[in-house]
Structure 1
Amino acid sequence: MVGRGELTDKAWARIEPLLPVSGRGGQWRDHRQVINAILFKLRTGAPWRDLPGRYRPWKTAHERLRKWTLDGTWQKILDEAVVKDDAVGEVEWILSIDSTIVRAHQHAAGARKKGGANPRSRPSQWTAKGLGIPEAD
């Protein structure tokens, strides 16, 4: 039985041939279980260490996600799925363009302030006037 959010048999049949085979280090943990763990993590946003027991050890899923990202396995799966599904019209392309504009207050943008003295017109503390010494006539 397939759990909520897990790979269906049909989806697994499509991506299984695209996955790498076991390397020199020996037998890899079941790819399907690891992918389901990755899907759970991405769907829920849970920390890796909080993966349910059926997906353990979490380090395996984390490492496989990282490795397959670096070696292009995920890109290969995505390309295969999009190309085949788009060819038969099963991809619904929806464009979403979003722009958030926040107008800054004029003072936050560095604009000159109306009124008020020019900071350069004030006497420096190191001048006679700034130190309170009367000027000579």
Structure 2
Amino acid sequence: MGRGDLSDEQWAALAPLLPVMVLGRPPVDRRKLIDGIRWRVRTGAPWRDLPREYGPWQTVYGLFRRWQRDGTWPMLLTRLQAREDAAGLITCEVNVDSTICRAHQHAAGARRDGRAQKEPPGGVHVEPEDHGLGRSRGGFTTKIHL
């Protein structure tokens, strides 16, 4: 088990919440794939640099994108939060903040309509038309509200 991999206790809590695979190839070790996704998200490294211990990078990326497109990630978060909230382990505090982020120079050529991309960003939520990058005195920026 790697330094950032799921512990046996964490896996025991997460495994029952995962979607059931009914069709297709025999399932691979999804714990290993999820640990690979978590490694990649934690490090920010390219998918191709994924350590071999997590399996082929294409398989790990394929699971990540498939679950991104069909809404599995938000569903897992909601289920985990509901279970922890029912156990009284979640407390809520509200903080409001916003910031301005400069866009990368390569963002200037991005399509304004994400649906026109060869492969749309994916996910179950459609971004409103008024969201995105815009010009201001500071250059090409976007505002983030939390």
Alpha-carbon offset, residue 49 of structure 1: 0.4
2-structure distance, mates of 1:6, 1:30: 14
TM score, norm. by length of structure 1: 0.64
Coordinate RMSD, CA, aligned? 2.2
Alpha-carbon offset, residue 38 of structure 1: 0.2
- Does the Cα contact within 8 Å between 1:36 and 1:55 map onto a contact in 2? yes
Alpha-carbon offset, residue 11 of structure 1: 1.6
C-alpha deviations, 1:5-63, integer Å up to 9, x for none?
A: 11111221122122233443211221000000000001110110001120120011111
Does residue 30 in structure 1 map to residue 12 in structure 2?
Answer: no
Percent identity for Structure 1 against Structure 2 = 45
Count of aligned residue pairs for this structure pair? 102
Does the C-alpha gap of structure 1 residues 46 and 30 become closer, same or farther in structure 2, counting only changes over 3 Å? Answer: same
Does the C-alpha gap of structure 1 residues 39 and 94 become closer, same or farther in structure 2, counting only changes over 3 Å? Answer: farther
Question: For residues 38-117 of structure 1, what are the structure 2 equivalents within 5 Å?
Answer: 38-100=37-99
1-structure distance, mates of 2:94, 2:69: 28
SS in 2 for 1:39: helix
List gaps (5 residues or longer) in structure 1. Answer: 102-107, 109-137
TM score, norm. by length of structure 2: 0.61
The structure whose Rg is larger is 1
Alpha-carbon offset, residue 97 of structure 1: 2.4
Relative CO higher for 1 or 2, CA cutoff 8 Å, sep ≥ 6? 2
1-structure distance, mates of 2:92, 2:41: 22
- Does the Cα contact within 8 Å between 1:18 and 1:76 map onto a contact in 2? no
Task: Select the structure that is richer in strand.
Answer: 2
